[in-house]
Every structure is written in structure tokens, then in C-alpha cells.
Amino acid sequence: MPGAVTTASARIILICSGKGGVGKTTLTANLGIALARLGERTVVLDADFGLRNLDLLLGLENRIVYTAQEVLAGSCRLEQALVKHKQEPNLSLMPAGNPRMLEWLTPDDMKTIAKLVAERADYVLIDCPAGIEQGFKNAAAACQEAIVITTPEVSAVRDADRVIGLLHTQGIQPVQLVLNRVRPKMVANQEMLSVDDVTDILALPLLGLVVEDEQVIVSTNRGEPLTLNGNGDRSPAAQAYRNVARRLRGEGVPLIDPSKQRRGLRARLLDKFRKTGNF
Amino acid sequence: MTLIDFLQRLLGRDKPSGAMARERLQLVLAHDRSDLNPELLDQMRREILEVVQKYVEIDLESGDVSLETGDRVTALVANLPIRRARPQASELMQEPPLPVAESAPASPSS
């Protein structure tokens, strides 16, 4: 890994997707909280300087005083910029600076910031901007490993593929996959790409599987991630995010494909006809 | 899925959209990963056919040279049914002409 940040202490993980709106920031916020609850000192770093939102999903938007910009300029100490989460003090946010930073920010600047926060963390999660332009390149330069998140839609999978290609050429390893917004019923009816379809096409190990869940929207409205204590106890997405955190730490949590579980009569009949070669 | 949709599917008249998504993705990714523009691909296809036709008569109607992808590797796959060997090349042909499938792995996507 030429030029990548290496610290003995922290794992620096990029969370990226290529396409916008597939759930990068939601994953970063929920995974950050889940890791913090497991006792890991975690820093979430908002690398989306143009359209920052991580502060909003974590409910920390009113507590930002300094940002990565002031840290880089040396006009504040790192501790002054890091915003500690009240309920989960193991989690801190490094807010993105002004969008004008994009004009001069370099991959080396991102490395500097990541290295600084990594000194006092076990996990650093970098919330990557959408796209494959400079913002992505800056964020990718600072990480050692990556999580690619996508949904079972052709455009999202195609964009994820582009990003995976770029991560591979940069020597980032491992790259793991989180499949978001799966609708088990549609998959069972063969009206949606299946989990196997997506993992086959992208050829990545599956780190997590998140089913479509309205609770995600409710929690973002409130600025309280589902993985917070007492929140989302009955939410399948919350459970999925917690499982991602545990797998990331190396715990062997089995992956269950929900579309293979609740198969209705129609789906099973269709399968039968399929096998006889009718299609 | 309404009952009508379901019956259509059962009778094999309507392909499930999930399968279509998969096929369309595989095709578009083969091109994305190879980073070849369509003109270049077409030129390469023509030149390959020219070379092959020097040695054997091929069935251009059912023949096909295309990009396929699997496991993050893109391959150029040629499937060229041979009608018969050209007279001057017949000495080289040990076996009766058969459809041949040749594939050469291209560089992994970058």
C-alpha cells in the first residue's frame, strides 16, 4: 500500500458507494454508534465537504464549533474540533469543513487528518462523498480498507463496480460489501437482484445485509441513529448494522438471506417451473 | 405481482425483471471494466474475423465476438462456427471442422 496511512492503533475504513443516496452516511452513523457501544473508541470523519450530512444524522449539527479545516490550518487543537456524542462518549465526529476547502484540499491533507484522529481511536470511519472525482480520491488516500455499500439496483451496482475497480488499483485491502435496502418479497418474486446476484457480479465478500426498513427514516428525522441504546430494538435494519459492527471486529455472526426464508407459494411454484426449463 | 402477472410468468411469457437486471448489468460491466470504446471493439472484431477467414470459412450469421465478464475479469469471447477449412489450410486441420470457442482473458478492470 504505497503512501497509505499506517498506525498501529486504529483501523481506518472508507465507506463509499459511487452512487449517491444509497446509504453511505446512514451506515457510517449507525456503524459508528454500534462500534462505540461495543467499547471501541470510534471517530467518524466526514469527508463529504461539498454536501456534509453526517453531523445531521448523528444529531450533532448544533454542537460543531471547529472543523477539519481549522485543524489543518493549525488554528485549533484536534480535541476542540472533535464532537463527542453525549449518549455514546466512545464516538466522536470530525466535522467536514467549508465546501470551499474542496478547491485546495489534497490527498495528503486527508491523510494528515486521518492520522491525527487515528492516534486516539480504535476505528476511524471515513464517510466518502458520492462520485469518483477528487473528493473520493482524497478520502481513499487516507484509508487502509473499505466498505462498499450498494442497493440491488442496476445503477447503484454499476457505480459500485467502478468504485471497486478504483479501490483495487489503489491497493486498498480488504474491500467488503454491504447490501442495503433489500426487499425480500421482491427478491423472492424475482423482481429484484438477489443477494447472490450482487455478490457474484461485484465479487466481494458480504459484510452485511440490510433490509428496507421505514425505521431508518424515522431515526434520521430525529437525529438518533437506530443503533443507539434503546432505539430501534425492533428494527431489522438496526440489527443488521449491529451485525456489521460485530463482523468487522472479527466475530462470526452468520448472514441470513431473508429472501430465502419467507418464500411464499408463488415463489416456490415459480422456482419449480423454472427448474423444468420453462423459462 | 398480480395474478395475471403471475400466470404470464408461469407460462413463460414474461421474464422476471430481476433476471433482466442481472443480464443487463453483466453486459454493461463487461464494457465498463474493459474500458474499450465501441468503435475500437468493432474494429477489433472485424480484424479478428478477417484473420480467421484466411484459414477457415466461418458462418458469419451465427458467429459472435463479444466481451463477457465474471469474477472481476473481462474476457473477449469468440464463438465462430466453422463451415469448412480453406483449401490451402486443410493440411493444418487434423480434425473435422467443429464450432470453436476461444477466449483470451483481457486485463482486469482498472
pLDDT of residue B99: 58
**pLDDT tens per residue, range A62-110:** 999 999 999 999 999 999 999 999 999 999 999 998 888 888 899 999 9
CA A149 from chain centre, in angstroms, equals 6
Q: Is the pLDDT of residue B40 over 90?
A: no
Q: Is the pLDDT of residue A139 over 50?
A: yes
pLDDT of residue B84: 82
Among A18-22, A118-122, A245-249, B74-78, the range scoring the smallest mean pLDDT is B74-78
- Percent helix / strand / coil, chain B, rounded to 5: 45, 25, 30
* Cell numbers representing residue A179 in the block: 447490501
Query: CB–CB of A98/A13 below 8 Å?
Result: no
SS (H, E, C) A13-77: EEEECCCCCCCHHHHHHHHHHHHHHCCCCEEEEECCCCCCCHHHHCCCHHHCCCCHHHHHHCCCC
Q: What is the dihedral of CA A123, A128, A134, A140, to 10 degrees?
A: 30
Here the ipTM equals: 0.79
List, as ranges, residues 32-51 from B with C-beta within 8 Å of A: 32-33
Residue A192 near chain B (CB below 8 Å): yes
Mean of pLDDT values over B35-50:
83
Mean pLDDT of chain A: 91
pLDDT of residue B110: 38
Q: Could you tell me which residues come within 8 angstroms of residue A109 by beta carbon, excluding any fewer than 6 positions away?
A: A72, A138
- Burial label for B36, CB within 10 Å (0-12, 13-18, 19+), is middle
* Helix (H) / strand (E) containing B9: helix B3-10
Q: What is the dihedral of CA B21, B24, B27, B33, to 10 degrees?
A: -60
In whole angstroms, what is the distance from residue B90 CA to residue B72 CA?
A: 39
Residue A235, CB half-sphere, CA atoms under 13 Å: how many? 24
Q: Is the pLDDT of residue A229 over 60?
A: yes
pLDDT of residue A101: 85
- For cell 488499483, name the residue: A169
In this structure, what are the phi and psi dihedrals at residue A250, rounded to the nearest 5 degrees?
A: 95, 5
- Choice between A3 and A12, residue whose per-residue pLDDT is larger: A12
pLDDT of residue B60: 78
Strands A91-94 and A11-16: unpaired
- Choice between B72 and A170, residue whose per-residue pLDDT is larger: A170
pLDDT of residue B91: 54
Q: Could you tell me which residues come within 8 angstroms of residue B31 by beta carbon, excluding any fewer than 6 positions away?
A: B38, B41, B67
- Burial label for A27, CB within 10 Å (0-12, 13-18, 19+), is buried
Domain definitions of chain A by residue range? 11-275
Residue A278 near chain B (CB below 8 Å): yes
Smallest Cα–Cα separation from A264: which of A199, A179, A190? A190
Quick one: pLDDT band at residue A1, thresholds 50, 70, 90?
A: very low
Residue A141 near chain B (CB below 8 Å): no
Closest Cα of chain A to B2: distance in Å? Answer: 11
Among A144-153, A174-183, A243-252, A265-274, the range scoring the smallest mean pLDDT is A265-274
Q: Is the pLDDT of residue B61 over 60?
A: yes
Number of other CB atoms surrounding residue A11 within 10 Å: 19
Q: Is the pLDDT of residue A6 over 60?
A: no
- Give exposure, A234-267, as e/b (b: 16+ Cβ within 10 Å): ebbbbbbbbbbbebbeeeeeeeeebbeeebeebb
Quick one: pLDDT band at residue A279, thresholds 50, 70, 90?
A: very low
Query: CB–CB of A48/A127 below 8 Å?
Result: yes
Q: Is the pLDDT of residue A17 over 80?
A: yes
From the DSSP assignment, how many helices (H) and strands (E) are in chain A? 12, 8
Provide the CATH number for the domain formed by A11-275 in this structure: 3.40.50.300
Smallest Cα–Cα separation from A76: which of A65, A92, A91? A65
CA A151 from chain centre, in angstroms, equals 12
Q: Is the pLDDT of residue A259 over 80?
A: no
Closest Cα of chain A to B32: distance in Å? Answer: 8
Domain definitions of chain B by residue range? 37-110
Contact B25/A269, CB-based, under 8 Å?
no
| Peptide bond preceding A129 in cis form (omega within 30 of 0) | no
Closest Cα of chain A to B106: distance in Å? Answer: 15
Q: Is the pLDDT of residue B37 over 80?
A: no
pLDDT of residue A143: 96
CB pairs under 8 A between A and B: 68
Among A151-155, A229-233, B90-94, the range scoring the smallest mean pLDDT is B90-94
Mean pLDDT of chain B: 75
Quick one: pLDDT band at residue A256, thresholds 50, 70, 90?
A: confident
**pLDDT tens per residue, range A154-163:** 999 999 999 9
Closest Cα of chain B to A163: distance in Å? Answer: 10
DSSP tag of B40: H
In whole angstroms, what is the distance from residue A146 CA to residue A136 CA?
A: 12
In whole angstroms, what is the distance from residue A81 CA to residue A242 CA?
A: 27
> In chain B, what residues touch A189 (CB-CB under 8 Å)?
1, 16
pLDDT of residue B65: 81
Contact B26/A201, CB-based, under 8 Å?
yes
Q: Is the pLDDT of residue B106 over 60?
A: no
Q: Is the pLDDT of residue A141 over 80?
A: yes
- Choice between A232 and A4, residue whose per-residue pLDDT is larger: A232
pLDDT of residue B103: 53
Q: Is the pLDDT of residue A209 over 90?
A: yes
In whole angstroms, what is the distance from residue A3 CA to residue A141 CA?
A: 8
